[in-house]
Chains A and B, each alone.
Chain A
């Protein structure tokens, strides 16, 4: 596949869980049988509530979480990396090419390092540059691209606002010249006016540096604005996936519909047309059998109520995939 950067094939991630030392070991099914292809140069969105497995999947793709079954392939120009089967040398190479931007710019930056050192650290750790001069050049270069001033580099993170800090985190992630970025809730902690600024910056850097993003967020309006393709996750499963405009205009899964209707509209005359979902996301320790959404589904069918329909995506329109339970 020439135009994909990442292929995720049947990936599941389980965690062992033991409530206390005498109780039985259990498995948490955090991510179940996920298949996604991320095209080169795309802005791939992953949405869902807390506990849906978005972050776990993102980390699994970066090789930061162990993949229990299935595989993730990173298609680089010269060769493919299979994440489930990588030696140390390959992993080091892969780390240069795939980076993570975190949610909280207050927690992600060491308060004892200057901004220059924070941004330069990946270069030094990965031994990408050979001299201090070269490092400085690259740091200055990326800082300028992320709209940081040269004089900022000498200061410590406490002197910066949330938006500036997030730009520092972005510069740090981009300094090793990666091709793939996982942005995990990267604008969730920011004020709206700054959020818009960071989103525009990410977009701009994407074209400038030829980046591919996996953008993880719980905020559907943000995802709708920046992403080309969106996957909606619920309890470790993708329940709907498709081109973002198509998906938001024409949602097919009842969970996607409910999520969309839950966004508070800024029109005071359109109050509360939300499809109210009852209850909360069930525990991943014992997910309901069959369709995982059926315990909260506002209009469950007769078959799925019994949990007889297994999870599985069907293509309803070209590129628009919906879990079969909601199509039937």
Chain B
């Protein structure tokens, strides 16, 4: 069976005043229907850029490599250029939920009007139908008084409720793929737990594919089926969530897990990953993690080992330099 979404050998580069920046390099990912792919990594690792490429939402100074493919439903999105084609993707087949719902809703337009507007663009329906779909969707995501909220502005809703409304809006067009970019980061833990449960229920109900981007490994453990760990634009490790979190091979994945305060083990010291993420302007050659790797082997340190994912267990892929380093430490 072919995948719902397949990203092959994607490079994303930005032309800036300081030079050409490689934001994402040679990424291959796939998502099946009803599956949640989690992407984790620190800020600057290229998680959001990858997701935005799927909707071609990156700014005008972006260039993609020639041989890259982003195949959704047997169509290569990267070859879409006309507004007509892109419209099918943006909000139609693919929807996105952002981190800060206050910034995503237009502040001076009522929530209902925004929901109706996008439905009218993507579905062949009239105003009344769009309104009833919207209100039902608001009810589905657990907003009480949906009719009242429909006529309110984003600022009148609390943070958790705004995020629910955002989810309702993203789902009302019945996309095949949902991109969730840090959807719970700005929320309190109790509200986060509610939103995570809601997203999980909805995925089950509508059988859509989801890419869930977060820096929080705990959230990944709760929602994802598969995980890709990104560092400085490259995937350094990917595989089933259980494998990655319980049996990490790459030193970066291990480092992330060790830096995480675990409430069940308060005696464990917090060990930060030494150093800082290098600027994308001087991205290391070879293994991107080598400048911070605590266990680098001599060749990897010189940047002589190229980045390449190798399958160590069925479905569990690790960068080849990281396999060797991971064994050292």
Contacts and interface: CB of A to CB of B under 8 A. Distances in A.
Contacts, number: 123
Given A50-B188, A193-B256, A268 B242 contact: yes
A200 B272 contact: yes
B218 A266 contact: yes
A49 interface: yes
26 contacts: A50-B188, A192-B260, A193-B256, A193-B259, A195-B259, A195-B272, A196-B272, A218-B189, A220-B263, A224-B263, A225-B261, A248-B263, A248-B266, A261-B193, A262-B190, A263-B189, A264-B222, A265-B221, A266-B221, A267-B245, A268-B224, A268-B246, A271-B221, A271-B222, A272-B197, A276-B194
Contacts of B241: 268
Given A193-B255, A225-B261, 15 more contacts: A164-B276, A192-B259, A193-B42, A220-B263, A224-B261, A261-B193, A262-B190, A263-B218, A268-B221, A272-B193, A272-B200, A274-B193, A274-B197, A276-B193, A276-B197
Interface stretch (B76-84, B158-166, B305-313): B158-166
B270 A245 contact: no
Interface in B207-227: 215-219, 221-222, 224
A4 B263 CA distance: 28
Contacts of A276: 190, 193-194, 197
B190 A277 contact: yes
Contacts of A162: 43
A163 interface: yes
Interface in A44-94: 49-50
B222 A265 contact: yes
Contacts of A272: 193, 196-197, 200, 222
Interface of B: 42-43, 158-161, 188-194, 196-197, 200, 215-219, 221-222, 224, 241-242, 245-246, 255-257, 259-263, 266, 270-273, 276-277
A196 B260 CA distance: 7
A200 B270 contact: yes
Contact of A193 (B188, B189, B242, B272): B272
A303 interface: no
B261 to A, nearest CB: 4
A123 B241 CA distance: 51
Contact of A163 (B194, B217, B260, B276): B276
A258 interface: yes
A268 B245 contact: yes
A130 B266 CA distance: 45
B270 A196 contact: yes
Contact of A280 (B160, B196, B259, B277): B160
A210 interface: no
A293 B188 CA distance: 16
A36 interface: no
Interface in A220-270: 220-222, 224-225, 245, 248, 258-269
A203 B271 CA distance: 13
Contacts of A264: 192-193, 196, 216, 218-219, 221-222
Contacts of A197: 272
Interface in A184-208: 191-197, 199-200
B221 A161 contact: no
Most chain B CB neighbours (cut-off 10 Å) among A162, A192, A221: A192
Nearest to A218: B188
Contacts of B158: 280
Contact of B266 (A218, A219, A224, A260): A224
The 4 closest A-B pairs by CB, nearest first: A264-B218, A197-B272, A196-B270, A193-B273
Most chain A CB neighbours (cut-off 10 Å) among B159, B217, B221, B261: B261
B221 A191 contact: no
Contacts of A265: 218, 221-222
A221 B277 contact: no
Most chain A CB neighbours (cut-off 10 Å) among B43, B224, B241: B43
Contacts of A194: 42, 272, 276
A274 B193 CA distance: 7
Contacts of B263: 220-221, 224, 248, 260, 263
Nearest to B144: A279
B143 to A, nearest CB: 11
Contacts of A163: 276
Given A50-B188, A268-B241, A274-B193, A225 B266 contact: yes
A49 B187 CA distance: 9
Contacts of B216: 264
Contacts of A266: 217-218, 221, 245, 257, 260, 262
A268 B225 CA distance: 9
Most chain A CB neighbours (cut-off 10 Å) among B159, B161, B215, B259: B259
B25 to A, nearest CB: 20
Given A162-B43, A224-B266, A259 B257 contact: no
Contacts of B189: 49, 218, 220, 259, 262-263
